[in-house]
Structure 1
Amino acid sequence: MTTTPFGRALCAMITPFTGAGALDLDGARLLADRLVSAGCDGLVLSGTTGESPTTSDTEKAQLVAAVRDAVGDRASVVAGVGTSDTRHTVELALAAEKAGANGVLVVSPYYSRPPQDALEAHFREVADGSGLPVMLYDIPSRTGVRIEPDTVLRLAEHPRIVAVKDCSHDFLGAQKVLSRTGLAYYAGSDEHNLALYAVGGAGYVSTVANVVPAHLRAVLDAFDAGDTTGAARRQQRATELMELMMASDLPGTVTAKALLGEIGLPAGPVRPPLRPADRATTDKLHAAYDRLIADPEF
């Protein structure tokens, strides 16, 4: 049986900033409410899309508290707390728990590239450090180190390690873990949302959901209703927007904020070293978005 400890349709929410680059808590509340009202049953804060490397510890805690206030018990709130320092990660997990998070997203320590036994010890220490359930975040293209499937199998024995956000692009490895554990596997790459769900995944943690939350939720709903053809059709119709947002040589944070700003939703600038999308890129994103929402099945 697939477990969904944080829901099925999770958005990797951007962190709104003001025009001057300060944290925009009112914007975060408004965006969070819109996402949940449109079908997201979980929000992941301060992940890659949430610009966690450039937000302070205080800002991270403030963001959790503001979003929790906005969504109440309508959705789970998962706080990104992963850093390259185990002690710091535990501190952030405790702060997220105090601020009202339902769980924590813990990415592999980056840059130092710890071996698998050190990775395992890191995740266990973080899981032991607070009372919150843990979602492992496997994204080797950014961290420089993979959480190998055999390591995940061992970590699944820990009672508070309950889920994985999978950006490994190793579909066989994901199926291996799914077949042998009760871990909830969430697609972290939007092109895998339906495919992973179809083999027993729990759902997705999506960047594209920032702009089309209802459409992505409809993919899962169609599949659950037995309309596999309709689910595939909806997934395919979002492909153009997914490609432009996630495979255009720009981080998803940049493309999501560009498009959100175009459609009048809170976003604001990205923080350096990231730079905003140019006009041509933004126009392409907006055109693809318009084509998708004009679809009669949207």
Structure 2
Amino acid sequence: MILVTGAGGLVGRPLVDLLVERGAKVRAVSRDPRLTGLPAGVEVVTGDPSRPDTIADALDGVTGVFLNPRALGQSPDPEVVGAAATRLLGLARERGVTRVVAMSALNVDHDVADQPSRLRGEYNKEVEAAAVASGLEWAALRSGYYAANAATSWAPQIRAGDVVRSPYPESSWAPLHERDLAEVAAHALLTGGLAGSGPVLTGPRSLTQQEMIAIIGETIGRPLHFEEVTPEAALQGMTRAGMPETLAAGFVRLQARSYLQHGLVTGEVERILGRPGHTFAEWAAEHAPDFQVQG
């Protein structure tokens, strides 16, 4: 039995599907009692991983845990989140769990100023540290830039017109398909093949923003044009859209530095899975409706 925290999320949801496809029994943890659409046979448990005692009984009979920092990030205090992760994994060990696979990030060892996602509760550093110290067989998946961030960044502009405005046109990174990340997690949970390691996971090809936007345009059948704007204008646009200024400033600063991964392609996905990672063009084709005007 595998217990998946964040089972309704970007990575947790495809992970549940993959585990079931491979014959594993799955227990999905969610704060939302309305979580539906999971494969037949998946046991859904309503609980809050940030309060580990609420899901203690769900650990009975479990051999492996997928630990997502977002599922634990209900406190603005990283020490509280780290303590919750430690408590959860302590309960897991007491109840016979032997393996934990934690979501982490490429920038986990960098200065906290280079980890703006911490401002929205993604305490990768603390959760990874709890996994390493848990006494369980552990792996930490240090993911790079998600391809899905392209929708967050650009979909509203693309639905509104043919011009995409952003700073730093030559910034580049290798977008990681969330399904590849989920498949690496499934491999780690079912085989233990990544025990004691923290592989850095990227997509198979580094692309500039202009190249990614061109790929989206080809996918939806509309030529898109990139227009460079100043970092100040980008920051104003993000805050007008509702993002807290400190968080927006952190992401603009990281964008200038290619999210700490300029041109980085690690090849770890291919090494682990024995196949190339999914391309950004494949991701864009699957998510074309996100960029199209509805109705």
* Alignment TM-score, normalising by the size of structure 1: 0.32
Instruction: State which structure, 1 or 2, has the greater radius of gyration over its C-alpha atoms.
Output: 2
* Alignment TM-score, normalising by the size of structure 2: 0.32
Question: Which structure would you say has the larger RCO, counting Cα contacts within 8 Å and 6 or more residues apart?
Answer: 1
